[in-house]
Amino acid sequence: MTERKAWCLRLLPVIFFFISFVAYYCSYAIIQSYTGTSKSVFSSKSLCGGWLTQKKWESLNFNISRQTQLFLKLEDFFWREHVSKLALPYGIKGSEMQLLKVLAVTNYQVPAIIDNLECRTCVVIGNGFAIKNTSLGGIINKYDVVIRLNDSPVRGYEEDVGNKTTMRFFYPESASYNPGLNNEAGTLMVLVPFKQQDLRWLKEILYNEKRVRKGFWKPPPQIWLGDVSQIRVLDPHFLHQTAEKLLRIPLNPKKNQNSAHPTTGILAIFVALNYCDVVHIAGFGYPISKSINHPIHYYGYDTMKSMKHSHHDLNNEAEALKRLEDSGAILYLHRHS
């Protein structure tokens, strides 16, 4: 009897190990099936280690520059060796005077706590319906940099999209009059200037000048309650490279060609690839459903019908995202089509 008891006691560690292994494996499988990836996204350190070792961005065929200065600054503006030959959205030709005034009262720096990281983990959150009911909020909040787009809401959607926002890319028509409603106090508000009117709008806000409403496809806010010290102006270099290298869009289309510009989302991903060491994305992709009434955002009531007259080549962007995913440059946090 004593020998049997001793034998059972010797088996206890083995049984305990087996149960622990099964529990771990089941938990891991559940997490991976939930996020739709084959890699854990909970350890920033492990993410960086593997990513930096493999240098996956070097396999891309459009030569990521790894440029870390994202925003225009006054000093560079005055001492540019090569004058821009392109107008907005791909250059600054014709917008110099407005830019001088804007850059004179805005900043260009990224917070040192992020800029000084040896490895930056970043996630770009698209506004697509695909992120709805994913419960990814807790995971999203763990990244060093969380980039959001336009006026996408956070309040009321925290469980799926998180509540951390490091940068928010926007243009006047997509601006919220009160950025504090869906952003943290330190969020960088990154203006993506697509046209001269966009810089004019920002100048009028900064200098409290009379607002000019002409030139916008949708009326932008006439009052902006954001923190001026958090405003940044994205260098048009990134939109130029997104169009030319990633999407291969003709920068000077012929008269019989429809002009197409990159979406803010694909631009944000390209910027992240230039600034970050790990780039994950969520909320990208349009519904497979051919129904024009299918919702396209995780919020609001816009449907596929609203994309009918879009000035973006969505099929081209979907193919570009596929190339980035296949090369290992980006990783989705959820299942996608």
Please tell me the predicted confidence (pLDDT) of residue 18: 47
**Domain assignment of residue 245, yes or no:** yes
- Looking at the fold, whether 190 and 293 belong to one and the same domain comes out as yes
pLDDT at 154: 98
Give yes or no for a cis peptide into 13 (omega within 30° of 0).
no
Report if residue 337 sits inside a domain. Answer: no
Token look-up 């991976």 returns 32
302 occurs within a structural domain: yes
Which burial class, exposed, middle or buried, applies to 60 when counting CB atoms under 10 A from its CB (0-12, 13-18, 19+)? Answer: middle
Q: Are residues 139 and 30 in the same domain?
A: no
Residues 129 and 194 both lie in one domain: yes
Q: Do 48 and 192 have their domain in common? A: yes
Does residue 124 belong to any structural domain of this protein? Answer: yes
Domain CATH for 301 = 3.90.1480.20
The domain total for the chain is 2
308 with 216, same domain? yes
What gap in Å lies between CA 146 and CA 162, rounded to an integer? 9
β-sheet bridge partners, residue 190 = 169, 232
The reply to whether 21 and 74 lie within a common domain is no
Is the domain of 209 the same as that of 161?
A: yes
> Do 112 and 25 share a domain, yes or no?
no
Does residue 8 sit within a domain? yes
The confidence score (pLDDT) of residue 260 equals: 80
pLDDT of residue 38: 37
Q: Are residues 53 and 119 in the same domain?
A: yes
Statement to judge: residues 229 and 286 lie in one domain: yes
Which amino acid, residue 151? D
- Structural domain span for residue 28: 1-35
Structural tokens at position 292: 């024009």
Do 278 and 201 sit in the same domain of this protein?
yes
**Block mean pLDDT (10 aa), the chain, length 337:** 52 48 38 42 62 58 73 82 84 93 96 92 95 97 97 97 98 96 96 97 97 93 95 96 92 64 96 93 80 84 69 85 92 90
Helices (H), the chain: 2-35, 44-54, 74-78, 96-103, 112-115, 137-140, 158-161, 196-207, 236-241, 264-275, 314-327
Indicate whether 15 belongs to any domain: yes
Q: What is the pLDDT of residue 164?
A: 98
Do 29 and 167 have their domain in common? no
